[in-house]
Amino acid sequence: MQQDILKSFNEFSNKTLEVAKALGEVNSKLIDKTLKQQMKAADLYVEGSLRQAKLIQETKDMKDYFANQTALFEEYSSKFVDLAKANVSLAQEAGVEYKALLEKGLKTADTAAKSVAKKAVEAAA
């Protein structure tokens, strides 16, 4: 009986380790994608700032400046909205992967618990 419990515990530990490794891989992938998104945001910020500085430098008429400033704002607003949508999509993707890992871990725990309980009942009988 004791051997069965130790064997079940060992199997459960190995499967838990597999899930932990998978979690590490998901986290690593998520961090990589998140950093890329942050770099895109930083690039957009710098690019927009440079274009705005150029606009200030080159525009002589205030009316033209405000029209160009509005167009620039609309362009970069759209780009940042697209980036925000990509971030939401990334979060949803991560949620799906985390859910799958959680379900796998719960299934492993349930199977191990049922196995140990069954063996305990058999040994008690």
pLDDT of residue 32: 96
- The string of pLDDT tens digits covering residues 97-112 is 999 988 887 887 787 7
Write out pLDDT tens, residues 29-84.
999 999 999 999 999 999 999 999 999 899 899 999 999 999 999 999 999 999 99
Give the residue among 117, 123, 112, 124 at the shortest CA–CA distance from 19.
112
pLDDT score of 1 more than 70 = no
**Terminal-residue alpha carbon distance, the chain:** 12
> Coil, helix or strand for 64?
helix
Residue 8: how many other CB atoms lie within 10 Å: 19
Domain positions in the chain are 2-33+62-124
For every residue of 76-108, DSSP letters joined together read: HHHHHHHHHHHHHHHHHHHHHHHHHHHHHHHHH
- Residue of 38, 16, 34 lying closest to 26 (CA atoms): 34
Q: What is the pTM of this model?
A: 0.71
